[in-house]
Structure 1
């Protein structure tokens, strides 16, 4: 099953543009003048140490927080003061760092709920249960099955969400986000808690999603996953942009190695701080 996502933007054109985003919580400056752009068709990585402002940036872009200054343009539309559901309707979907499934509902029902931003029946249709409403519900259920199959967990469609393995719950979250028909899918640490084999499956899924025309924004601590998967990477430190560029440029940047990767992580990537200082 292919997602076949089409937009008026051409491959390589700017889909999302963040301009000078700043956010403060009391005395803490969580974001400070953060600017970057994501092109249609990219897998774009966002990395940084704990407390760097990565999830805050996600929350600002997806409407959970309103920035003090700056704006976020998505396919030419200013999302800065939009509500989360309006942003989802515009084609910008996300998952969360902490899994947020409806644990007592089935996997299928979770994905069907994600489809609500593309439905038309409304309250009256739900009450009257007319023919068009029933047809739409059948289409929603069929689409949910397709998406569960797409992420590789169709066999668990009727199982309660909380009974699924951790990796399958992560994939269920992705299926639910895909149910909104996004142009851009933002994944907040999807590999967190996964074992190596689950991470391989996740990488294959992300590549498949991009192959079907959906741009991906990825927050992740797994450096091998990020550097091997992303087209470009943004590094945050204390709410500010530390570096931005291709993975090879970022992982060889002495400031990134010193401030974030450290000698141990750099060694895993075949880099040493001494080499960069030579």
Structure 2
């Protein structure tokens, strides 16, 4: 039986009069590429923000490798092993690519204020190891030759991959990607898909929000569909694609009936 990595139970979040999430429950197994989809305003990013403690839910729980995420602060969640990227790229544009990735390693470092001041041998050795690991991660995502380029000067697709490299620098067990293909052209999306598959093949679990249905259905082994903050469907990609409620949510009333007629 697959090992459960994350179990969310009845998560709810309200903003004033808007019920953004309502009793959302799901589980992710180790080694999954788990897709999270839904129409605009369905609550996908709100769910991501609840999982990473940017938002505190009104009710519900989320167990991740023995940690109750709803009780942790964002940096504690990263330490616990859950890293994320953002829908809108958040890089340090005035720093180089390798410096951005090195920043991502800070939660795994040991040198404190004393080491930073004295620049002792242990601190220097740790800094060298951090730089080496950052270069390895840039190579891993395919932009190793741009280590010393300013992040702001990188092409859009490379910025997306840099953000993934920075998240990987925290050594996560679960990598949560918020619309990583947004704004990418077809060739950049192909490169991204290969990278996500490589990350999964190397033993990491991935949670993916994405509007590119071709990418989601080709990558994910399970998919959760949200609509108006509620779970509309959950299952294997082929099952979700055939679900009349999902078809109607994306294509409008009557679309499910037409799809059923075409299938028959």
Work out whether 1:228 is the aligned partner of 2:214: no
Residue in structure 2 matching 1:156, options 146, 155, 163: 146
Structure 2 Cα separation of the partners of residues 156 and 32 of structure 1 = 44
Structure 2 Cα separation of the partners of residues 183 and 275 of structure 1 = 44
Work out whether 1:213 is the aligned partner of 2:203: yes
Structure 1 Cα separation of the partners of residues 153 and 261 of structure 2 = 48
Unmatched tracts of structure 1, length 5 or more = 1-10
SS at match of 2:100: helix
Deviates more, 1:69-78 or 1:240-249: 69-78
Change (3 A) 1:272 1:189: farther
Residue aligning to 1:131: 121
Runs of 4+ more than 3 Å apart: 274-278
Note the C-alpha offset of 1:124.
1.7
Unmatched tracts of structure 2, length 5 or more = none
Q: Is contact 1:254–1:277 with CA below 8 Å preserved after alignment? A: no
TM-score (norm 1): 0.92
Structure 2 Cα separation of the partners of residues 235 and 272 of structure 1 = 21
Note the C-alpha offset of 1:260.
1.9
Change (3 A) 1:208 1:272: farther
SS at match of 1:45: strand
Note the C-alpha offset of 1:81.
1.7
TM-score (norm 2): 0.96
Could you list the per-position Cα deviations for residues 41-97 of structure 1 after superposition, in whole angstroms to 9, with x for gaps in the alignment? 000000001110000000000010110000110012111120000000001000000
Structure 2 Cα separation of the partners of residues 272 and 226 of structure 1 = 23
Note the C-alpha offset of 1:273.
2.0
Change (3 A) 1:104 1:24: same
Structure 2 Cα separation of the partners of residues 12 and 215 of structure 1 = 12
Deviates more, 1:11-20 or 1:199-208: 11-20
Work out whether 1:141 is the aligned partner of 2:162: no
Give the number of equivalent residue pairs: 263
CA RMSD of aligned residues (A): 1.7
Work out whether 1:82 is the aligned partner of 2:81: no
Residue aligning to 1:62: 52
Note the C-alpha offset of 1:12.
2.0
Q: Is contact 1:252–1:276 with CA below 8 Å preserved after alignment? A: no
Residue aligning to 1:121: 111
Structure 1 Cα separation of the partners of residues 45 and 15 of structure 2 = 14
Change (3 A) 1:123 1:253: same
Work out whether 1:42 is the aligned partner of 2:32: yes
Note the C-alpha offset of 1:275.
3.2
Residue aligning to 2:93: 103
Change (3 A) 1:272 1:224: farther
Note the C-alpha offset of 1:261.
4.7
Structure 1 Cα separation of the partners of residues 79 and 252 of structure 2 = 40
Residue aligning to 2:242: 252
Structure 2 Cα separation of the partners of residues 163 and 12 of structure 1 = 42
Residue aligning to 2:155: 165
SS at match of 1:57: helix
Structure 1 Cα separation of the partners of residues 143 and 48 of structure 2 = 27
Structure 2 Cα separation of the partners of residues 71 and 84 of structure 1 = 16
